[in-house]
Structure 1
Amino acid sequence: MSTESVQIHKTAIVTADRVGSGTRIWAFCNIQAGVTIGADCNIGDHCFIEEGVQIGDRVTIKNGVSLWNGVTVEDDVFIGPQAVFTNDRRPRSKQYTEPVATLL
């Protein structure tokens, strides 16, 4: 991971494969290995981003957001506070199917 011009709060856990320049990651975020984050993004406090998530350039992710495996966030997207994006079309369903990729 390049740390050139990237700001990561000291309480954040970031093992992402790539974090683009100009990106800011705030307090208590957990961003797992296998995540790619584009340039000039802003990721607010208490966010969880699971392996396999791809985030484009100039994305704003507000506080408390969860992004689960299979989610792709394209360029110039704004995600409001406490939003949860999952790859499961039928959460808590008794029928188990293959996970579905989510594209924002």
Structure 2
Amino acid sequence: MMIKKQTISLSKLIVQGKGNIVSDMDGERVMLSIYNGKYYNLGEMGGAIWDHIEKPVSVIQLVTRLMSEYEVEQSECEEQVISFLETLLEEGLLEIGEEVSS
């Protein structure tokens, strides 16, 4: 039986996974997963994304917020955000909700 790999689309609702400890080290956001005992360096942009997904938000809302904070093209922002979120998802650090209708 194949396990369907969840994919992240712009209309999906996303939220931080539970049970992660996040702290600042020299301006970089570092996270410890209490599930797998691994450390992750989120970096500046990753840290900003992490802060924005504390409450459920759609990926497109997240992209819009980041574009207002950073000088970044929409296509590039979408690509980087989805790539980062997929990494979080693979590591079990992200929860995905339903699609939201625009």
What's the TM-score, normalizing by structure 1? 0.23
The structure in which a higher percent of residues are helix is 2
